Amino acid sequence: MILAKVLGTVVSTRKDAGLSGLKLLLAREVDGGFQPAGNQVVAVDAVGAGVGEVVLIAAGSSARLTEVTKDRPVDHVICGIVDAVEMDGRDVYLKNAATAVVADAAEER
């Protein structure tokens, strides 16, 4: 799975019928300090994620295993919204206090 941050919404009025009714979001992979680190991807939202949230993305054939994406032409799906990340017994990301915790973790590196 990929840890990523949702950047925005993708709107496509003309698309394959298999994509009809799916919410598409633009997301970018983040590193251990929750800074942009990888490619941007368009992912189907299976969990109701929003802009600015840190999410889990499944890619490849695994992206077609959710109830929302089964048998659809999808390579990336947002399958989880991250509430917390713990490393070495310490919280390095908390959804409700993301700015403070991430800033503290960055300072220690």
Per cent of the chain over pLDDT 70 is: 89
User: Domains plus CATH for the chain?
Assistant: 2-82 (2.40.50.220)
Beta-strand relationship, 84-87 and 90-94: antiparallel
Answer whether residue 100 shows pLDDT above 80: no
Per-residue pLDDT of 38-75, as tens digits, reads: 899 999 999 999 999 999 999 999 999 999 999 999 99
Q: What is the distance, to the nearest Å, from the Cα of residue 43 to the centroid of all Cα atoms in its chain? A: 8
